[in-house]
Structure 1
Amino acid sequence: MSTIRAVEGEGVPRGMTHGELLALPVSFSLEAANRALGLGRTTGFALAKRGAYPVRVLRLGRQYRVTRYDLLRYLGLDANGRPEGGGGASEAA
């Protein structure tokens, strides 16, 4: 007899790679944002409904949307995926 496992997201990779984050469209579903932040579906939607989601959530009719800009800023990245305020030798003086 096999064991049935009913764990949300079991076997599904959590989070997103750097490349996946940069490939996101300008705005995307709350489900994609949940994946990027490592949040489960139920937790993510509950946070959005209470106004406690970690990034700004746009409500368009019955849809929740998140912008790439807000997600990258929350993760400490600029629009090009580089750490914000990181400076570095490649910046023009």
Structure 2
Amino acid sequence: MSSEGMTHEELMALPVTMTLEQANRALALGRTTGYTLARRGEYPVHLLPRRRGYAVSRYHLYDYLGVAVQPSEQAASVAE
């Protein structure tokens, strides 16, 4: 079962690194599917290993999704 994806506004508001749960939602993956893919090394986006679990960088997620970031959006996210 896949979860509901995110709107463009939600995608643009994501932090620089996010939890696997947030990335799963952005990719419209269910929790079990996302964690299974991560454990198998088959997750569609590069994963950052953490002490407990995984993190995903916004850069890799946007790249995979083909989301273009406007210069004003980049500057706003750096200022946060």
Unpaired runs of at least 5, structure 1: 1-7, 81-93
Q: Which residue of 2 aligns with 1:78?
A: 68
Give identity over the alignment, percent.
57
Q: Provide the secondary structure at the position in 2 that maps to 1:43.
A: helix
TM-score, with normalisation over the residues of structure 2?
A: 0.80
Q: Which residue of 2 aligns with 1:31?
A: 21
Conservation of the 8 A alpha-carbon contact between 1:69 and 1:79: no
Q: Which has the higher contact order (CA 8 A, sep 6+)?
A: 2
Counterpart-to-counterpart distance in 1, 2:61 and 2:18: 10
4+ runs deviating over 6 angstroms: none
TM-score, with normalisation over the residues of structure 1?
A: 0.70
- In the alignment, which of 29, 34, 38 is matched to residue 44 of structure 1? 34
Cα distance, 1:77 vs structure 2: 1.7
Counterpart-to-counterpart distance in 2, 1:65 and 1:38: 16
Alpha carbon RMSD of aligned pairs, Å?
1.9
Cα distance, 1:19 vs structure 2: 0.6
Task: Tell me the number of residue pairs that the alignment of Structure 1 and Structure 2 aligns.
Answer: 71
